[in-house]
């Protein structure tokens, strides 16, 4: 086989990371993502099959996209998800296979997912208080999520485990110090993510963004922090507690955008390629996959779309338009 060129965009960024949504469905209704009543789900045959996902991931990895994160919706609600994970772990060129989950089904699936070859897990937890967790996710599920986390932590191959919390003004302030204490007393790295305009209710407003810097300052007052060196194209700024007890991270896409070294693309559950979380344009891959195009043809379609990858997002600029899709329909 002739050598395949790496995947790059028109701004000379090398694409190494794909976020693959395996379902748009979810068993939670987080305020910053879904409406309370849920969304109209995709029909079953609209969603890419395991075989289609396997082929697509293979084609991407042949172009140097070696990091694959499985997400959704809630990936663990996809039937037989551990079998899909095992299929993707075997795709040549896939070096890192990770999952982002709300943790609700981790108690059931952690063992099978680790055995399948998932080597990194991000678990979303916005509060450690049961009533506040319920308020944010609209599900009374904190004890179950924490049990899932404990189960996951028993597998050495699953570490490091990362916990994601969205920072929303008016909600997160009271969660900051308990989250920092959680990071100090468990083998988890807690990361705060700024609230982005990808919510179903379109209630996002700049004033609702609790910035990473504000959260960091609040923690630093109680537990002093020291910055760790930033890795290239890492989304999180990581700090360690000065007394050596654990680490904490901040993902600041709005207050400190990291678009300049973005190496990511996304594929939605129904096979639309998105080159930015905030893309207003997407490229259909399911049609070509089902029409039987060759791998070379598929690579050309992907290259062409990725070439036009957005230079940066325009949140907070005049004229910004929120994408039609919610975070759950994109794959965060
Ligand atoms: N259901 C899984 C979960 O919650 O971890 C995976 C999909 S979820 C869309 C992926 C991540 O996006 C989660 O960590 C969630 O907190 C985050 N997220 C969702 N909506 C967001 C928003 N509007 N702003 C920032 N992060 C958001
Ligand atoms: Fe579901 Fe994740 Fe969205 Fe919450 S953030 S509603 S768990 S997809």
**Residue 259 domain-assigned?**
yes
Please name which of 196, 179, 201, 197 lies closest in space to residue 188, comparing C-alpha atoms: 179
**Residue 135 domain-assigned?**
yes
**Residue 8 domain-assigned?**
no
Query: Which whole-number Å values give the CA distances from 299 to 57, 62, 130, 289, 307, in the listed order?
Result: 11, 9, 47, 11, 12
Return the residue matching tokens 């537990």.
223
| CB distance 31 to 136 below 8 Å | yes
**Residue 303 domain-assigned?**
yes
- Whether ligand 1 lies within 6 angstroms of the CB of 326 is answered as no
- Please state the length of the chain: 332
Tokens standing for residue 324 = 């039609």
The domain that holds 260 is classified in CATH as: 3.20.20.70
**Residue 3 domain-assigned?**
no
Q: How many domains does one find in the chain?
A: 1
- Whether ligand 2 lies within 6 angstroms of the CB of 76 is answered as no
Per-residue pLDDT tens listing for the chain (332 residues):
568 999 999 999 999 999 999 999 999 999 999 999 999 999 999 999 999 999 999 999 999 999 999 999 999 999 999 999 999 999 999 999 999 999 999 999 999 999 999 999 999 999 999 999 999 999 999 999 999 999 999 999 999 999 999 999 999 999 999 999 999 999 999 999 999 999 998 999 999 999 999 999 999 999 999 999 988 778 899 999 999 999 999 999 999 998 999 999 999 999 999 999 999 999 999 999 999 999 999 999 999 999 999 999 999 888 899 999 999 999 98
**Residue 1 domain-assigned?**
no
Domain range holding 184? 17-330
pLDDT in tens, 79-116: 999 999 999 999 999 999 999 999 999 999 999 999 99
**Residue 294 domain-assigned?**
yes
Query: For residue 73, which atom of ligand 2 is closest to its CA?
Result: 8
- The Cα 248–Cα 176 span in angstroms is 11
Q: How many A from CA of 303 to the centre of ligand 1?
A: 27
Cis, bond preceding 160 (omega within 30 deg of 0): yes
Whose alpha carbon is nearest atom 4 of ligand 1? 102
Q: What contacts 54, CB < 8 A, 6 or more positions away?
A: 87, 88, 91
């Amino acid at each position: 086989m002739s050598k395949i060129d790496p995947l790059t965009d028109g701004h000379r960024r090398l694409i190494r990371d794909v976020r693959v949504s395996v379902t748009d469905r979810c068993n939670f209704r987080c305020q910053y993502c879904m409406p309370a009543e849920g969304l109209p789900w995709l029909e079953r045959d609209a969603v890419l099959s395991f075989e289609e996902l396997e082929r697509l991931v293979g084609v991407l990895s042949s172009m140097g996209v070696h990091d694959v994160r499985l997400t959704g919706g809630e990936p663990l609600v996809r039937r037989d998800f551990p079998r899909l994970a095992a299929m993707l772990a075997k795709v040549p060129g896939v070096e890192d296979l990770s999952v982002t989950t709300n943790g609700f089904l981790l108690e059931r699936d952690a063992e099978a997912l680790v055995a399948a070859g998932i080597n990194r897990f991000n678990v979303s937890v916005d509060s450690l208080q049961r009533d506040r967790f319920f308020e944010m996710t609209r599900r009374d599920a904190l004890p179950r999520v924490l049990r899932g986390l404990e189960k996951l932590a028993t597998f050495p191959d699953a570490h490091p485990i990362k916990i994601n919390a969205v920072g929303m003004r008016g909600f997160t302030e009271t969660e900051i110090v308990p989250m920092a204490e959680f990071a100090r007393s468990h083998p988890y790295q807690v990361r705060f993510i700024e609230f982005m305009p990808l919510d179903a209710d379109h209630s996002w407003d700049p004033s609702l963004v609790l910035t990473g810097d504000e959260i960091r300052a609040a923690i630093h007052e109680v537990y002093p922090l020291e910055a760790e060196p930033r890795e290239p194209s890492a989304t999180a700024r990581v700090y360690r507690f000065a007394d050596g007890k654990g680490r904490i991270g901040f993902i600041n896409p709005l207050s400190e955008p990291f678009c300049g070294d973005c190496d990511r693309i996304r594929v939605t559950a129904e096979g639309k390629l998105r080159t930015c979380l905030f893309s207003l344009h997407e490229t259909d891959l399911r049609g070509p996959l089902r029409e039987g195009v060759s791998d070379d043809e598929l690579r050309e379609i992907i290259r062409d779309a990725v070439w036009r990858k957005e230079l940066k997002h325009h949140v907070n600029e005049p004229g910004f338009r929120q994408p039609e899709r919610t975070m759950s329909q994109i794959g965060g």
